[in-house]
Amino acid sequence: MTPTESVTFYDQHPFDWAPADDSTEMKSVVSPLLAEFINKLDENSLVLDIGCGPGRVLGFLARRRIRCIGLDRSRVSLGLAIQRYSRPGVVGDNLHLPFLEGAADAIISDGVIHHTEDPFAAFTENFRILKPGGQMYLAVYKPSGRYPALYRFPGGFIRWALNHSWARPLVTLLFQVPYFLVHFVRSKGKRTWPGARNLFYDYFVTPRVAFLPRQLVEEWCAQRQGRILQYDENRGQNVHSFIVAKEPAEEQIRLNKMDAKNLAEEVRRNA
Ligand SMILES: C[S@@+](CC[C@H](N)C(=O)[O-])C[C@H]1O[C@@H](n2cnc3c(N)ncnc32)[C@H](O)[C@@H]1O
């Protein structure tokens, strides 16, 4: 899968299902840990929402009058975000962020890096642009729960069928219609067909998904001198979330010195 194909996917199916002006529903779709993270932010913080999509979280930040910038690889998604919430935005790639090192007080990465070609590189880029002492909210797909199996099947069949014009009506009839009805009932009539279709595509058709265990994220944090402050398993949900702090500059220098000392000792031992 090339980056261009992935752009096309979220351009055609932005992660957009809730009416932008429905604040009750917006609140209910921001996880409790993210809501807590946002509520603790200083008004003067600069928050970068990397992979902001059509701005679900930017809207939440905008209501709190927090300075924020959205970035997304999908021009269509970003366009929706800017139009709705009048916040600045950049079309860009999480793997090569167009921001200076230490530019952000806080980073939000909600359901994004697991869609990139290299989740660790995306994580590292987020960390690079976070200022020492800053914090990142990170939500990624977890390997437990039913979603990994559902993405394989029926997801595998759905992706196959959508590539064959004669089989597409089967997807609509067998999967999309029931999916819409369930969501329509659960949302008490709020879910529209286009909204449910976008969710359906994000769930079953999105071309690239990685399931990232907690231990792996912990290892990444250790490698990048990050410290996990909070973890939420989000029982019953597809993603788990982390709040990670980037060690302050002095602590980084200390850790780098320790790394250098350990390395020197290892070299001596092996000599
Ligand atoms: C599931 S949506 C999440 C959107 C938003 N964070 C939210 O929670 O509402 C994933 C988003 O990640 C974006 N994305 C995927 N790969 C990306 C990359 N390499 N660089 C920037 N954005 C990317 C997609 O375009 C899409 O808008």
Q: Give 195-254 pLDDT, tens digit per residue.
A: 999 999 999 999 999 999 999 999 999 999 899 999 999 999 999 999 999 988 766 666
Interatomic CA distance for residues 164 and 28, integer angstroms = 37
Predicted pLDDT of residue 1: 45
Q: Are residues 155 and 199 located together in one domain of the fold?
A: yes
- What would the two tokens of residue 90 be? 């950049």
pTM equals: 0.91
Q: Are residues 139 and 152 located together in one domain of the fold?
A: no
What is the CATH number for 42? 3.40.50.150
pLDDT digits (tens, 9 = 90+) for 140-154: 999 999 999 999 999
Residue 25 has pLDDT above 60, yes or no: no
Interatomic CA distance for residues 86 and 55, integer angstroms = 10
Q: Are residues 227 and 171 located together in one domain of the fold?
A: no
Number of domains in the chain: 2
Which is it for the CA torsion 178, 187, 140, 127, positive or negative? positive
Q: 234: which DSSP letter?
A: -
Could you tell me the distance, in angstroms and rounded to a whole number, from the CA of residue 229 to the centre of ligand 1? 24
Q: Are residues 229 and 178 located together in one domain of the fold?
A: no
Report the run of H or E that residue 227 belongs to, with start and end: strand 226-232
Predicted pLDDT of residue 254: 63
- 239 phi and psi, to 5 degrees? -110, 155
Interatomic CA distance for residues 2 and 7, integer angstroms = 9
Q: Are residues 115 and 163 located together in one domain of the fold?
A: no
**Ligand 1 environment, Cβ below 6 A:** 6, 10, 15, 51-53, 56-57, 72-74, 77, 93-95, 110-112, 115-116, 202
Determine the structural domain holding residue 173 and report its residue range.
147-205
Q: Are residues 9 and 124 located together in one domain of the fold?
A: yes
Could you tell me the distance, in angstroms and rounded to a whole number, from the CA of residue 8 to the centre of ligand 1? 12
Q: Are residues 88 and 185 located together in one domain of the fold?
A: no
Q: Are residues 151 and 27 located together in one domain of the fold?
A: no
Q: Are residues 54 and 176 located together in one domain of the fold?
A: no
Residue 63 has pLDDT above 50, yes or no: yes
Q: Are residues 19 and 104 located together in one domain of the fold?
A: yes
What percentage of the chain reaches a pLDDT higher than 70? 88
Could you tell me the distance, in angstroms and rounded to a whole number, from the CA of residue 258 to the centre of ligand 1? 36
